[in-house]
A and B are shown apart, each in its own frame.
Chain A
């Protein structure tokens, strides 16, 4: 029994993940072009991280054995991947995209900060209600919906803060409040999961040991269901929050980097 076993087991190149990734890549190639630059590198690394989260043992473990693995996958899909994708879209493409009537209209509603905030934080809360999460683990199409919705909702959540169209971004004060309150939302959820006591998610208590990894996880790595749930909750809580925090640092840095127009944007916003 070795740790390597974890990495060999369960690479699952499921067709839907590959299709989803190629749709994203295809759309980019069609919409933006094939040139190699900062944007395309960020975008493609976003797609790669997403593929990693979807096909690697992380997915397998998260689905069958470990809540903590699921949570890492979740953080990657909801917070990291959409951010990379969003940074990868050049301004001109975004403007072109928003000019298309139905998309523009939809995004106007979705990217309204309170809506985007509720979607982002709501996705986190709803998908982690024990009953819904257990249901998703047993139902393939619901599981796929869960993962795809993480990526899409993640993009909507980040949109108000990091939209490619810079002058439509929230000003740093509002942006920081937006992110800090989202951080509060995920802190509370993380806290509840961490301190709830083992067995919140029934599927992970006695997993079906289809790949023969259970002995390794329980005996060699000493990850009991309780510890597993704690790692999961804390992953959402601490690193999750650090991502929001770093993001607000980025908004501040960009604000300081931008030229000063003499009258503060924060003031106009406040008025």
Chain B
């Protein structure tokens, strides 16, 4: 059944249009902020950068999980799935930390267009990460009950495509928000 993978690929293509629109909204309003916080004045690219590394690493570990699945190494697959979930959760923790810090300084979604676009973009990305984490946890749960003995499983492969996508989106989001504001 190639169907499932084909479905998820087109789904990911469709989702990327969604994110492109959110990013365009961010780009559209970047530089129009007259007063109030901006990316430059309120974000910390280094802390978020470090948390981003965890998300990037999780893309690598889910690839390893897929590799273990193909090698019929059930134990290692479970381990790598678990590591992926932990890495993803650390990233989400980082996001939560950043949001909490901003909200403490009264930078919210309704403060100005920077707040609006920033929270929307990172929020929708974070939502996608959370959905991915839930799906990964279900995978892990099923694996613990003895599912996915390999060498192939659409479930694992499809979710890993989704996870890579979520990761790729973050690279773009990080570049647009942080790299653009601090390193260009």
Contact = CB atoms under 8 A, between A and B. Distances in A.
Interface of A: 131, 184, 188, 191-192, 195, 270-271
B6 interface: yes
B27 A270 contact: no
A228 B158 CA distance: 47
10 contacts: A131-B184, A184-B20, A188-B20, A188-B24, A191-B24, A192-B27, A195-B28, A270-B2, A270-B6, A271-B2
Contacts of A270: 2, 6
Interface of B: 2, 6, 20, 24, 27-28, 184
B27 to A, nearest CB: 7
A271 B184 CA distance: 43
A192 B2 CA distance: 38
A264 to B, nearest CB: 14
B36 to A, nearest CB: 21
A184 B24 CA distance: 13
Q: Which 6 A-B pairs have the closest CB atoms?
A: A271-B2, A270-B6, A270-B2, A192-B27, A188-B20, A188-B24
A195 B31 CA distance: 13
Nearest to A177: B13
B73 to A, nearest CB: 27
Contacts of A195: 28
A165 B20 CA distance: 35
A182 B108 CA distance: 36
Contacts of A131: 184
A131 B184 CA distance: 9
Contacts of A271: 2
Contacts of A184: 20
Contacts of B28: 195
Contacts of A191: 24
Contacts of B20: 184, 188
A263 to B, nearest CB: 15
B30 to A, nearest CB: 11
Given A184-B20, A270-B2, A271-B2, 7 more contacts: A131-B184, A188-B20, A188-B24, A191-B24, A192-B27, A195-B28, A270-B6
A195 B28 CA distance: 9
A172 B99 CA distance: 46
A11 B56 CA distance: 51
A189 to B, nearest CB: 11
Contacts of B2: 270-271
Contacts of B27: 192
A192 B24 CA distance: 9
